[in-house]
Structure 1
Amino acid sequence: MAATTNSTANIDTATKVAFLRQPASYPHYNPGHAFTVDVIQTHMSWVFLSEHFVYKLKKSVRFEFLDFSTLERRHHDCLEEVRLNQRLALGIYLGVVPLTIDAAGRLQLEGEGETVDWLVKMQRLPREYMLDQVIAARRVEAAEVRTFARLLAGFYRHAEAVSITPHDYRQRFEQNIDAYTNTLLKPAYGLSHNQITAIKRTLQQFLSDKAQLFDARVSTQRIVEAHGDLRPEHICLIDPPVIIDCLEFNRALRLLDPADELAFLAMECEKSGAPFIGQVVFETYRQLCHDDPAQSLLRFYKSLHALLRAKLSIQHLDDHDVGKHQKWIRRAHDYLGLARHYADTLDG
């Protein structure tokens, strides 16, 4: 079913989304084999899940860390998303496809005519095999963890070290600590100022007292262009495993210490009640990458990631969906508790 409109000027996001919600809008639609389209909205995109494929439409937004405000910028980001995700999800990302309008003013996906937007197309992965779902079902096997940990270790081992000075590396953390806590301390959010300032002081003191730990990560060339968003919900335990949804829109945010990235994954798994996953991941990483980062450094990384997740959670109170506010408040408190725990055990 094609949506009819008069000109490209009035094709707003709502019109595009309404069109993409309809199964008949998809090239693989067969009237004799009906399917539904599941829709997920994030701050940055609309994701449409058909029977076998996923299509991602970037929102026309601009934030401090990204700019999707023009068709050209969205096209570039789509291309980058496909390119970068081939590193850990080879063959899953199928390409960038156009949403077009034909001479009669009808929208078409992967059709002819003037392009009004671009979408990333990828294979749909089985949700029950995503690591967060496997953790929730308590079905995680150590062998599966080792398999995807080997994939990550190989990725890091072959990644080219990036150029950064020790001072600039430490300064990134100084700036992040300030940025995260300044947001969390906003009176409107009602969070504990004592807890947040205690975490802030502890992390700042560690960064100052243990500068040599951070400097050593730079001097041993451990900082690489990494995945950037290594969460359990982005790891699929099919055979072979794949890791999707890297952070594509800002290269600077992907320049990471692998130990930092893996600490984020370990923290998320610990929060979900599966601490052994992080243990197996780091054991595999140490063996294959010949790198044994200090436990205190890993706890610093975990604390700062938990602080960021608390910030992202509480910022949902700025949304208009009041019905979900309590959920995000609870989540922010949970992450703050984790951040405090890791900060309090930096010397443990």
Structure 2
Amino acid sequence: MPERVPVEAKVAALREPGAYPGPAQPVDVIETHMSWVFLTGQFVYKLKKPARYDGLDCRRVEMRRFFCFEELRLNRRLAPSVYLDVVALRQDGQGRLRIGRDGEVVDWLVWMRRLPAQLTLDRLIEAGSATPAHMRRVAAHLAAFYRGLSPAMGDHHRLMARLRRDIDTFEGALCKPAWALPADDVTAVCSRLRAALTDCREVLEARVRAGRVVEGHGDLRPEHVWLGEPLAIIDCLEFSAELRTLDVADELGFLALECERLGAPQLGRALFDAFAESTGDVPDPALVDFYQAFRACVRANIAIRHLREACYRDDPKWPRRAREYLALAAQRMAPA
């Protein structure tokens, strides 16, 4: 059943400063794959799209409310000073849409403090000013976070089954002729991933037993790491507990891989060194290679999925990004 207020009207209203409580500067709007983000000077408001994705259904307003509160709860673990509240978008008696206390609720938004973008890790890498000292701060923040988490998995067979399933998914998705990716390269990478997973079975079993598999951040990329005061890690993957449940070496490896992709491989090494010093956790290098190749395939699959949407279909960035990630995966899985 269609909602009474169409999403286009909500977005149009939220582009206007008068939709927000208190004084607001001209509103900047960013559209992402799953949300609209409205930047109003000191604050940020995120409106989830009323759409269905793999594993996520936000078509109904009550589900968008649920995932707004999940986003608030989960992100307060790593960025408590950033995530402020969930607020209602309401329609008053004159039909105006505003954030506030008066009128009928028509949707929900996550309300955040706005962070200066120049202090995110990706911007610092781009500027050539990211250092190992920055990564030591990140490692300390993550070590404290992981220490406070309970083990999230007691059976390594479950983890291995999930990883095998996902490798099969990557191969099927990335080999589709419509995407014009090198199918032989995809098949070779996926075959080596399966072999590496088998080789790492005992190491994985030991890490599961040691409580190294936790419900973590789930999407630990440089653009989500803010290096101001206090340090904050934002944009946790809020819509799937399964995707957030991972080995801490997988999560660290993903951040290190992304730093390498942006041209700063030394930052990943500094991250692992500092984390080992803080926690005593020194993951097997072959396992880290596996995780990084696996994450590169995850990102290649996400990149190529953009081509399903009309607004991205003709953008060459996404096939180029997918090939870039495939090359990283092949590098990690190259025969010794």
Asked if Structure 1 and Structure 2 have the same fold, meaning a TM-score greater than 0.5 normalized by the shorter chain, the answer is yes
| 1:9 CA displacement | 4.6
SS of the aligned residue for 1:89 comes to coil
Partner of residue 38, structure 2: 48
Partner of residue 7, structure 2: 13
| 1:332 CA displacement | 1.1
1:26 to 20, 41, 45: 20
The answer to whether residue 104 in structure 2 is matched with residue 134 in structure 1 is: no
Letter in 2 for 1:144: H
CA distance in 2, matches of 1:176, 1:164: 20
CA distance in 1, matches of 2:7, 2:15: 12
Partner of residue 235, structure 1: 225
CA distance in 2, matches of 1:219, 1:146: 27
> Which aligned segments of 4 or more residues in structure 1 are displaced greater than 2 angstroms?
321-325
CA distance in 2, matches of 1:120, 1:78: 6
CA distance in 1, matches of 2:27, 2:252: 33
The answer to whether residue 196 in structure 2 is matched with residue 190 in structure 1 is: no
The answer to whether residue 63 in structure 2 is matched with residue 73 in structure 1 is: yes
Partner of residue 26, structure 2: 36
| 1:209 CA displacement | 2.8
Partner of residue 313, structure 1: 303
CA distance in 2, matches of 1:334, 1:288: 33
| 1:262 CA displacement | 0.5
CA distance in 1, matches of 2:65, 2:11: 17
Sequence identity (%):
44
1:253 to 238, 243, 252: 243
Q: Residue 177 of structure 1 contacts residue 200 of structure 1 at CA under 8 Å; is this kept in 2?
A: yes
Q: Residue 101 of structure 1 contacts residue 116 of structure 1 at CA under 8 Å; is this kept in 2?
A: yes
Partner of residue 258, structure 2: 268
Cα distance, 1:322–1:160 mapped onto 2, change above 3 Å: closer
Aligned length: 335
Cα distance, 1:127–1:164 mapped onto 2, change above 3 Å: same
Per-residue CA deviations over 1:191-213 (Å, capped at 9, x if unaligned) read 11110000011011111233112
Q: Write the mapping of 1:141-220 to structure 2, written as runs, cut at 5 A.
A: 141-220=131-210
CA distance in 2, matches of 1:298, 1:79: 33
| 1:322 CA displacement | 5.7
Cα distance, 1:268–1:322 mapped onto 2, change above 3 Å: closer
Per-residue CA deviations over 1:208-235 (Å, capped at 9, x if unaligned) read 2331121111121111110111000000
Partner of residue 120, structure 1: 110
Per-residue CA deviations over 1:251-284 (Å, capped at 9, x if unaligned) read 1111111100010000000000111111111111
Q: TM-score, normalised by structure 1?
A: 0.93
SS of the aligned residue for 2:47 comes to strand
| 1:51 CA displacement | 0.7
SS of the aligned residue for 1:229 comes to coil
| 1:137 CA displacement | 0.5
| 1:162 CA displacement | 1.3
2:321 to 331, 335, 344: 331
CA distance in 2, matches of 1:323, 1:194: 24
CA distance in 1, matches of 2:221, 2:242: 18
CA distance in 2, matches of 1:337, 1:44: 27
Q: TM-score, normalised by structure 2?
A: 0.96
Unaligned ranges ≥5, structure 2 = none
Moved more, 205-214 or 129-138: 205-214
